[in-house]
Structure 1
Amino acid sequence: MAPALGRMLRSSPYWPVVSDRTLRRALPGFAFSALGHGMAAVGVSWLAIELAPAGSRGAWVAVAVAAYTLPGAAGALLLGRFLRDRDPVRLVRWDASLRAVALGLIPVAYALDALDGPLYVGLLAVSSVLHSWGQAGVYTLLARVLPERDHLAGNAVLSTVFSLATVIGPALAGALIAWTGAAVVVIAVDAVAFLVLAIVFRFVSAPEDAPVGGQAGGQAERTAEGPVEPGAAPPPRPAGLTIIRNDPALFGVLGLSFGFFFLFGPVYVALPLYVSEDLRGSASLLSGFYTAFGVGAVLGALVSGYLSRWRLWPTVIGIVIGFGIFLLPVGLGAFTPVAMASFALAGLVWPPYSSLSTTLVQRAARGPELAQVLAVNSSVRVVSVPLGTALGGPLVAAFGSGRTLQISAVGILALGIASALALGLRTAGKARSVRPRK
């Protein structure tokens, strides 16, 4: 059995990833931090519910969830001058260290009976300042140690790790809250998980970036204006936003990602309130929804590495359409097991979207520009999800949690359909432009 499993692994697209020496050292750190992040999906919102006055829980959940990620977008834009040329390993380590310290202060303040809503939100905000650069460091490291043909498999391995954490993390968070009666314990575990990541990355080193195009040494460096002769000072590199704005492929994938994640953002507010108020459920039931999503995500992440022969653009658009369809029964108030099963199907297509869209970015931006573009790519999710989450508070107040889930599902479905029509028109236009004249 074991030899057969070993042969299957070595013949899979994931073998070059898990057999790489650098990534073997880094993956345990990824796993611990992902577990903490999975637990935080329940812990951050539930602690906000515990701290907030009864009449304003929706607003406080929205602010807390946004604070846990949103400042990372500001960090991506404001700190680019100082961080864009840094070693990706240092980026990951600095992000993990800041997370560990800021999140660790939350249980300390709670133990001293000094934790209130504003302090809680402030510490969450500080913890997330370097989040986009930490994510950029992860995917830049992967792009440096693996050849381009293995980028999708590498992204899929990371998605698998994170997806497994969404299965284990929320379930563990729900059990800890039920056992201790305090969601702050989950935040403490999250802080320890990032501390482990920071320690692991003390023993990881990244190879120097290869010249653009993956050629060996001796080639002249290239820029957007052309080759740079040896000994000549290259022109200043454009910022990540400028690179993206001038590249239709990058601009398109980031625009689609922004819309997708923004429209999903209200779910983080509506689902906890839907469970706690409409269903009269507990943190364990909420963790059950997240666990169902995570089970689907694990399967989807495992499949992602085998999609390298699929056309990337039609696939990512199809995923957006499918996600909207699968989210709809949750908002329509379907029987709880049916709603969980549908949420699991939404989870199934989530990791392939992340892996494929990141692969599109990695293929479009290479060399010294990669870390900048990946930081902006990460900040798209960092800013769009919290913006959607912040919108979730007023939506829930105006329409209720169930109707807000419906709005999110229909919006995602409409975005996917509109993107499919735009892709079809663009493809038809290209076909007409290359058709020979009679």
Structure 2
Amino acid sequence: MDTNRSYRDVLRDRRLAGLLLGDLLANAGTGMIIVAMPVQTLSIHGSVPKAIAIGLVEAAPFLLSTLLALAVGLGRVRVPPRTLLIADCVLRSLTFTVLGVLAVTGRLTLPMLIGGLLFGAMFRMAGSSSRRLLATSMAGETGRFAVNGLLGLNTTFALYIVGPVLGGVIVASASAGVALFFDAGGALVLLVAVLASIPGQATSRRTRAALTRARAASTRARAASTRTQEALTRARATEDRAARQAPPEDRAGKQASPEDRAVTTAHAAGPESGWRILRRRPVAARLLVVEFFFNFFYMPIEVALPLYVQGRLDADASALGLMWGALGVGAFVGAALVNQLRNLPQRHVLIAIIGLWAMCPIALAFVDDLALALVVFGLGGLVWAPFTPVAYSYLQSGLRPDEQQQVVTLWTTGATVAAPLGLAVGGPLIEVAGSMGGLALSGGLTLLLLPIAALAVLRHASPRPSAETA
């Protein structure tokens, strides 16, 4: 069985390295507006209450992008990932350029900002899943784990560390509106990287050659399938004759199961919806549940942490910044260390991550010293960071190429939508349970995912037999 390649090995492919560099710079631009967007909103909220205005602005990018992502994931219409990513880059760059111009000239209003984010982020989730699909397909099966790890490293470093720091500097030295131009610039950089790294089919000799080989293989497969069907027909005829000659009480259960018929006719039915794929692959469906709730149960921590720092630790806002910094540094180190996990059994690593992360908020609830809290939260980031690359790699290893887009898009949508839903539930939860109780409850609920994850990945060796590199 082939060994998973390292970060260095996959980065030797210049086209793939270019795409990942574009992803890094695009994430840095998005990280800047994490800081700039609330500041911009507060300057134009008018008569709308501040909290409501920020909530509307934060929710706007999720609405249409979620609907489009669900249409791609649950529907049968297939749009090439390259096309979706290009559409996302173009629309995002145009939208944030216009919003930036309006902001710096003092003409931006709250309805304009909400409307711009609503339509400008339409391809946000579909584009995010397309980045992963394109990068992992370029790396092949042995490079998939490394690419998922590098994408996680990009997100941790650019989106959560460098981007917010640079965004804060820009907001302080210029204005929040100027930061919007940097997000537009990041989208343009990613667009150039996509066009340069992944040429269209009409201009790519390598792609045409690959398609020719694929068509030849498909022809051979169809011929083999025809022979197999003929053999199956003869076998069924023999079985039917034997069944007719058998006593009536022995005939039960001889028909093919619905699952067998579904698998046999899957290719003949054309493109499948993500829902149908998940029904046929229960392992992937259970992992989607784990992915959603892993993110959902994390979000109350973001509500509880400021109260925990102020109350339990008796510290100020600078201590809160240190806590998030500790998590970010730990997550960066964890994302970098994903490379070292590439040849371990992914299903066991996935379960270990869930259990170890769950212990982090539980441990925090019993800590009343800032230095120790920083260590615990930093270790939590170290454990948490590998979850997404390991989970995606394990999932993709059990899917056929024609199933990747639907299921990966559903996963991206589930993981993203879990954030605002978790925040919405986290507020009332922390209000009732308190900061320490909320932290302990977050960890305890995450521990409940362990049986589901174990059922999903230990009951079978992999989502598809012989798909995992163990």
Change beyond 3 A, Cα 1:330–1:246: same
Which residue among 159, 162, 167 is the counterpart of 1:168? 162
Which residue among 127, 132, 153 is the counterpart of 1:134? 127
Contact 1:22–1:204 (CA under 8 A) maintained in structure 2: yes
- 2:439 is the counterpart of 1:415: no
What is the CA–CA distance in structure 1 between the aligned matches of 2:196 and 2:307, rounded to whole Å?
A: 42
1:261-307 deviation digits (Å, cap 9, x = unpaired): 1122344555578789996537xx76654443332222112221222
What is the CA–CA distance in structure 2 between the aligned matches of 1:279 and 1:108, rounded to whole Å?
A: 40
What is the CA–CA distance in structure 1 between the aligned matches of 2:322 and 2:179, rounded to whole Å?
A: 16
Which residue among 261, 264, 267 is the counterpart of 1:225? 264
Q: Name the residue aligned to 2:150.
A: 157
Contact 2:86–2:191 (CA under 8 A) maintained in structure 1: yes
Contact 2:19–2:135 (CA under 8 A) maintained in structure 1: no
> How far is the alpha carbon of 1:242 from its aligned partner?
1.7
- 2:114 is the counterpart of 1:121: yes
Q: 1:370 corresponds to which letter in structure 2?
A: Q
Contact 1:62–1:393 (CA under 8 A) maintained in structure 2: no
Which residue among 317, 338, 341 is the counterpart of 1:281? 317
Q: Name the residue aligned to 2:235.
A: none
What is the CA–CA distance in structure 1 between the aligned matches of 2:119 and 2:38, rounded to whole Å?
A: 17
What is the CA–CA distance in structure 2 between the aligned matches of 1:311 and 1:244, rounded to whole Å?
A: 23
Q: How does 1:73-152 map to 2 (within 5 A)?
A: 73-79=66-72, 85-152=78-145
Q: Name the residue aligned to 1:376.
A: 410
What is the CA–CA distance in structure 2 between the aligned matches of 1:373 and 1:364, rounded to whole Å?
A: 11
What is the CA–CA distance in structure 1 between the aligned matches of 2:355 and 2:169, rounded to whole Å?
A: 34
> How far is the alpha carbon of 1:343 from its aligned partner?
2.9
Which residue among 171, 188, 193 is the counterpart of 1:177? 171
Contact 1:167–1:290 (CA under 8 A) maintained in structure 2: no
Could you say what secondary structure the match of 2:386 adopts? helix
1:106-146 deviation digits (Å, cap 9, x = unpaired): 33333344445444333333333212221221122123222
Gaps of 5+ in 1: 1-10, 229-233, 428-438
The structure with the largest alpha-carbon Rg is 2
Could you say what secondary structure the match of 1:121 adopts? helix
> How far is the alpha carbon of 1:156 from its aligned partner?
0.9
Could you say what secondary structure the match of 1:224 adopts? helix
Could you say what secondary structure the match of 1:190 adopts? helix
What is the CA–CA distance in structure 1 between the aligned matches of 2:385 and 2:339, rounded to whole Å?
A: 10
Q: Name the residue aligned to 2:464.
A: none
Which residue among 285, 297, 318 is the counterpart of 2:352? 318
> How far is the alpha carbon of 1:76 from its aligned partner?
0.8
Could you say what secondary structure the match of 1:306 adopts? helix
Q: 1:27 corresponds to which letter in structure 2?
A: L
Contact 2:78–2:271 (CA under 8 A) maintained in structure 1: no
Change beyond 3 A, Cα 1:238–1:217: closer
What is the CA–CA distance in structure 2 between the aligned matches of 1:62 and 1:203, rounded to whole Å?
A: 38
> How far is the alpha carbon of 1:384 from its aligned partner?
1.4
What is the CA–CA distance in structure 2 between the aligned matches of 1:46 and 1:408, rounded to whole Å?
A: 29
- 2:14 is the counterpart of 1:21: yes
1:347-406 deviation digits (Å, cap 9, x = unpaired): 212331111110122112122221111111111112211221233454466667776555
TM-score with structure 1 length normalisation?
Answer: 0.78
Contact 1:253–1:360 (CA under 8 A) maintained in structure 2: no
Which shifted more, 388-397 or 94-103? 388-397
What is the CA–CA distance in structure 2 between the aligned matches of 1:101 and 1:271, rounded to whole Å?
A: 36
What is the CA–CA distance in structure 2 between the aligned matches of 1:214 and 1:155, rounded to whole Å?
A: 29
> How far is the alpha carbon of 1:252 from its aligned partner?
1.3
Which residue among 247, 252, 256 is the counterpart of 2:290? 256
Which shifted more, 344-353 or 356-365? 344-353
Alignment RMSD: 4.0
Identity of paired residues, percent?
26
What is the CA–CA distance in structure 2 between the aligned matches of 1:56 and 1:400, rounded to whole Å?
A: 25
Change beyond 3 A, Cα 1:423–1:369: closer
Contact 1:58–1:396 (CA under 8 A) maintained in structure 2: no
Q: How does 1:262-341 map to 2 (within 5 A)?
A: 262-268=296-302, 281=317, 288-328=322-362, 334-341=368-375
Q: 2:97 corresponds to which letter in structure 1?
A: G
What is the CA–CA distance in structure 2 between the aligned matches of 1:279 and 1:106, rounded to whole Å?
A: 38
1:172-212 deviation digits (Å, cap 9, x = unpaired): 223333434x444433322321222123222221647889x
What is the CA–CA distance in structure 1 between the aligned matches of 2:37 and 2:365, rounded to whole Å?
A: 22
Contact 1:66–1:387 (CA under 8 A) maintained in structure 2: no
Q: 2:221 corresponds to which letter in structure 1?
A: A
Q: Name the residue aligned to 2:243.
A: none
> How far is the alpha carbon of 1:148 from its aligned partner?
1.2
Change beyond 3 A, Cα 1:388–1:56: farther
